[in-house]
């Protein structure tokens, strides 16, 4: 199926790409998460005297994933707050006008889209994501 040369090239590429990948993951993983996974690896290790390297892939991959999930939830929450405020304002205005049977979501959705477009939401999201991976940003 695969020639021996292509398998060798694949393994060679994996060896060369391992260290830049390790550096990237380690740089973007939070220290607290690394400590957690070093401790968990120590507890799950069957060989009691064996030391766990904090820069091993079994530590930095899950710590990177957990760090990124935390940051994603924070971004989602920050995006959610203005939309929640719009929902509350629209609901209060509709109630004060006596329109209890009209769904606030129907009225609030165009305002949410308008807000997102006016603040150039996609630009801000993409800029924040890309600059989050640039060192020194």
**pLDDT tier for residue 2 given thresholds of 50, 70 and 90:** confident
pLDDT at 135 over 90: no
User: DSSP state, 1?
Assistant: -
SS3 sequence of 12-53: HHHHHHHHHHHHHHHHHCCHHHHHHHHHHHHHHCCCCCCCCC
pLDDT tens digits along 69-116: 999 999 899 989 999 999 999 999 999 999 989 999 899 999 999 999
pLDDT tens digits along 16-66: 999 999 999 999 999 999 999 999 988 888 777 778 888 999 999 999 999
- Judge whether 84 and 105 are in contact, CB under 8 Å: no
């Amino acid at each position: 199926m695969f020639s021996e040369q292509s398998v060798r090239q694949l393994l060679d590429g994996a060896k060369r790409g391992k260290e830049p990948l390790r550096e990237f993951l380690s740089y973007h993983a939070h220290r607290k998460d690394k400590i957690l996974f070093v401790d968990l690896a120590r507890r799950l290790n069957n060989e009691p005297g064996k030391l766990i390297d904090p820069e091993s892939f079994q530590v930095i991959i899950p710590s990177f994933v957990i760090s990124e999930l935390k940051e994603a939830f924070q971004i989602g929450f920050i995006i959610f707050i203005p939309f929640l405020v719009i929902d509350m304002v629209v609901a209060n205005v509709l109630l004060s006008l006596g329109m209890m049977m009209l769904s606030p979501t129907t009225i609030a959705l165009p305002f949410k889209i308008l807000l997102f477009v006016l603040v150039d939401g996609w630009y801000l999201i993409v800029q924040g994501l890309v600059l989050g991976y640039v060192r020194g940003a």
